[in-house]
Amino acid sequence: MTLPRCSRLPLAFELAPLLAALARVPADAWRHHFNTGYYEGDWSGVALITPDDALLPLAPGQGAPVRSAWWQGEPAWGALLALFQAQIRSARLLRLGSGSRIHEHCDPDLGLPDSDLRLHVPLLSPPGVEFLVDGLQVPMAAGECWFIDLARPHRVDNPSAGERIHLVLDCQRNDWLLERVQQGLAATPALQPGRAGRDFAAFRERVARDPALAARLQALSDARDFLQETVALGAERGLEFSEAEVRSAMRQGKQAWNDQWRV
């Protein structure tokens, strides 16, 4: 089965007991995410299940799953995890604080033929949060369950005043789980460009219509200068996007150039 970009699985969760359990997570249980070069602000988590070969509680692994002791008295987490008829190798509460962002990256370990499938169960998702994969926003709502192919480029932006918290599961793929992914496709909303992506598309249109603006960018031979100048010129025109949008467009342009020579 070729995995889709994403799928909203046909699974439903009662949100109230999960949020009550979340509120009882001790404040000192949250640990900063180990990929410190991937984010700005607060990206932290608490492990419910960790592979026994993981170097850190929040890190991935291929070993046997080990359930943490701290949540065993919380039936809400157990009830949710029991719905999955697949081995859950890891389960983590991941929090992206207000004003924080996860930079675009890929998780190549999730792109192998027998890789685990990563599922997201949003618990807190304030308006304005954007989870982008391939530059398209995944419209995840609290209480849903989504598979997302995170071997693809993805990033998250939380400009809101609240925290975004997801329960993130790595599950061994099996027929039951693959069938849920397939079933979910029919009801999965079409993905749309994110807020910054729309602004960048508008900026590109302006460049196409403005020879002077295009020449100003074409004169830049250094990639770093080009990225910074593009973002600055966009901001001058009221269009807010980041270097991530520019890099993504550059990558797609290179891919299109390479693809035209493939037989």
How far apart are the two ends of the chain, measured CA to CA in Å?
Answer: 24
Give the model's pLDDT for residue 89.
95
Q: What is the pLDDT of residues 93-110, one digit of tens each?
A: 999 999 998 988 898 888
| CA atoms lying within 13 Å on the CB side of residue 174 | 10
The pLDDT mean for the chain works out to 90
Predicted pLDDT of residue 72: 87
d(CA 74, CA 26): 13
Model confidence over 1-29: pLDDT tens digits?
A: 789 999 999 998 999 999 999 999 999 99
pLDDT of residue 117: 96
Taking the alpha carbons of 208, 209, 213, 214 in that order, is the dihedral positive or negative? Answer: positive
Q: What's the pLDDT at 35? A: 80
Select the highest-mean-pLDDT range: 62-66, 87-91, 215-219: 87-91
pLDDT for position 173: 94
Domains and CATH numbers, the chain: 6-189 (2.60.120.330), 195-260 (no CATH)
Is this structure's pTM higher than 0.75?
A: yes
Q: Express the helix, strand and coil content of the chain in percent, nearest 5 each.
A: 35, 25, 40
Q: Flag whether pLDDT at 254 surpasses 70.
A: no
pLDDT of residue 8: 97
Strand positions, DSSP E, 3-73 = 6-8, 31-32, 39-40, 43-51, 65-67
